[in-house]
Amino acid sequence: MKVAVIGTGYVGLVSGVCLAAKGHAVTCVDLRPEVVERLSIGLATIHENGLPELLQEVFIAGTFGASLDLAAAVSAADLVLIAVGTPSVDGRIDLTAITTAAEQVGAALRDVDRFVAVVVKSTVVPGTTDTVVRDALQRSSGKLVGEFGLGMNPEFLREGNAIEDFMNPDRIVFGHEDPQTLARLEDLYRPWTCDKLAVNTRTAEMIKYANNCLLATQISAVNELANLCFEMGGIDVRDVMAGVHLDQRWSPLTTAGRVRPQILSYLVPGCGFGGSCFPKDVQALRTLGQDRGLPMHALQAVLDINDAQPLQVIRQLESALGDLRGRSILILGLAFKPDTDDLRESASLRIIDQLLALGAHVSAHDPIALEPARRHYAAQPITFVEDWSAAVSAAEAVVVATAWRDYAPLPALRPRVLADARRMFQPGDFPESVYLAIGLRPLTSP
Ligand code: NAD
């Protein structure tokens, strides 16, 4: 099938490369010339495990191409995937890029006399595809849904694991407004054998939001419990969660032993969730409900807990060092999670911003996100270090803010004060250090 992907960021590029690897003829379109230029010579534009190799493969096989020419790509396509960004503005998603893309796709469809299915892959709040996107497409094409197809195919990939997630998904959702689009989506994903669910577009949109909101809820619920354990003293939330994980409704007991599902990785304490999806998606669904007169108490609480969670680290540093003005603090990890260079909504940045506001001297390291961090903090007095282990002894305190495996040798470097904001280590790993951890405060004698 000929596929045009509009928007070649994390989702568009990974989708395009994976669909090409399954034999479809894919053209990835972007409006950034530098992106198209690199992709046109087979070079990846984002950091993602396995992407450079797979991109090379499809580039050499001739099933993948990149272009600035949206109209040409759409005119040649059987199916168009719209994967442009939907950033958060004041708790709502900004539909500017998606509306513009839909208008451009519609204009390109005006002179096409074949059936082309237009499918939204971006995350959009329930009711967007069958209103805003439909209107833009119909207006600019002069055609009605039926003459072209309309669908919504939410993406569940996780950055850092995106190729693996796209190639081996747990489910694929076929949101559609017409039977021909459903048939196109079934053809597109025929090489995949996972569970497939056909629903209308607003249900497809809601599945994506409900999924992320429930995952984010697990994280904030555990973080609230962690903070209570810290207040109480003498309770390590990690031991608490180890006990909870053993409930067979979380980790079923089978004849082959205990199954430890991935959901358990969300039921751990930390300094809060970030990234381009969870904060934005929870805010958007909260606001959608509130706009309709529903208070959305649970999602508001998830956000409130998450907003405050990075500040737990600051409190703990203050408890160990007192006033942080003039103190040298080394932040290890800037990306919102390991295996990505994405800084969006990273808890590390919240911690750094607060440290700067309090007058601390901040140095920082990340295995792959140093460059974007340098750009982000261009005008700020932060020292970015390439050699993190050499920087440990110079720092009065070290904060592990992203659980990169690279930092595993940290105990041997004996930091003076360590704030383990991701609970990457055991308390006993730092016998000579002041060990601070989310969800753990030793019981001091009365
Ligand atoms: P991104 O910002 O990395 O990429 C969007 C790309 O679209 C950019 O390269 C931009 O230049 C391009 N673009 C914008 N308007 C265009 C146009 N009219 N024509 C051509 N190109 C255009 O975004 P992303 O992280 O890939 O996210 C895309 C969507 O997928 C969002 O709605 C996001 O919420 C959703 N999503 C993201 C993830 C993730 O992990 N990043 C996971 C699932 C879903």
Percent of all residues in the chain with a pLDDT value above 70, rounded to a whole number: 100
Q: How many domains are contained in the chain?
A: 2
Q: Does 229 map to a domain?
A: no
Q: Which atom of ligand 1 is nearest to the CA of 123?
A: 32
Among 84, 163, 213, which residue has the most ligand 1 atoms within 8 Å of its CB, making it the best to mutate? 84
> Does the beta carbon of 108 sit less than 6 angstroms from any atom of ligand 1?
no
Do 41 and 173 reside in the same domain of the chain?
Answer: yes
pLDDT, tens digit, for every residue of 270-312? 999 999 899 999 999 999 999 999 999 999 999 999 999 999 9
Asked if 277 is an active-site residue, the reply is yes
pLDDT at 159: 86
> What is the pLDDT confidence band of residue 12, given thresholds at 50, 70 and 90?
very high
pLDDT at 39: 98
Do 264 and 391 reside in the same domain of the chain?
Answer: yes
- Which of 199, 218, 252 is the last residue before a domain boundary? 199
> What is the pLDDT confidence band of residue 446, given thresholds at 50, 70 and 90?
very low
pLDDT, tens digit, for every residue of 144-165? 999 999 999 999 999 889 999 9
> Does the beta carbon of 83 sit less than 6 angstroms from any atom of ligand 1?
yes
Q: CATH number of the domain at 385, please.
A: 3.40.50.720
Question: Which residue type is seen at 403?
Answer: A
Q: Does 205 map to a domain?
A: no
pLDDT at 444: 72
Do 192 and 241 reside in the same domain of the chain?
Answer: no
Q: Which atom of ligand 1 is nearest to the CA of 162?
A: 40
Do 185 and 257 reside in the same domain of the chain?
Answer: no
Q: Does 218 map to a domain?
A: no
Q: Are 272 and 223 in contact (CB under 8 A)?
A: yes
Q: Does 150 map to a domain?
A: yes
Q: Does 93 map to a domain?
A: yes
DSSP per-residue letters across 272-293: ---TTTHHHHHHHHHHHHHHTT
Q: Does 213 map to a domain?
A: no
What is the 299 CA–ligand 1 centroid distance (Å)? 24
Do 266 and 142 reside in the same domain of the chain?
Answer: no
> Does the beta carbon of 81 sit less than 6 angstroms from any atom of ligand 1?
no
Percent of all residues in the chain with a pLDDT value above 90, rounded to a whole number: 97
Do 240 and 320 reside in the same domain of the chain?
Answer: yes
> What is the pLDDT confidence band of residue 445, given thresholds at 50, 70 and 90?
very low
Q: Does 191 map to a domain?
A: yes
> What is the pLDDT confidence band of residue 138, given thresholds at 50, 70 and 90?
very high
- Which of 141, 175, 199 is the last residue before a domain boundary? 199
Q: Does 192 map to a domain?
A: yes
What is the 374 CA–ligand 1 centroid distance (Å)? 22
* Average pLDDT of the chain to the nearest whole number: 97
> Does the beta carbon of 103 sit less than 6 angstroms from any atom of ligand 1?
no
Do 275 and 325 reside in the same domain of the chain?
Answer: yes
Cα-Cα-Cα-Cα torsion 196, 200, 201, 207, nearest 10 degrees, comes to -60
pLDDT, tens digit, for every residue of 311-369? 999 999 999 999 999 999 999 999 999 988 999 999 999 999 999 999 999 999 999 99
> Does the beta carbon of 440 sit less than 6 angstroms from any atom of ligand 1?
no
By alpha-carbon position, which residue is closest to atom 12 of ligand 1? Answer: 7
Do 277 and 416 reside in the same domain of the chain?
Answer: yes
pLDDT at 282: 98
User: Of how many residues is the chain composed?
Assistant: 446
Do 164 and 258 reside in the same domain of the chain?
Answer: no
Do 313 and 164 reside in the same domain of the chain?
Answer: no
Do 159 and 241 reside in the same domain of the chain?
Answer: no
- Which of 156, 178, 199 is the last residue before a domain boundary? 199
Do 195 and 148 reside in the same domain of the chain?
Answer: yes
By alpha-carbon position, which residue is closest to atom 17 of ligand 1? Answer: 101
Among 5, 6, 8, 10, which residue has the most ligand 1 atoms within 8 Å of its CB, making it the best to mutate? 10
DSSP per-residue letters across 242-254: HHHHTSTTTS-EE
By alpha-carbon position, which residue is closest to atom 37 of ligand 1? Answer: 11
pLDDT, tens digit, for every residue of 182-218? 999 999 999 999 999 999 999 999 999 999 999 999 9
Query: What is the arithmetic mean of pLDDT over 35-42?
Result: 97
> What is the pLDDT confidence band of residue 83, given thresholds at 50, 70 and 90?
very high
Range of the domain at 163: 2-199
> Does the beta carbon of 340 sit less than 6 angstroms from any atom of ligand 1?
no
By alpha-carbon position, which residue is closest to atom 10 of ligand 1? Answer: 7
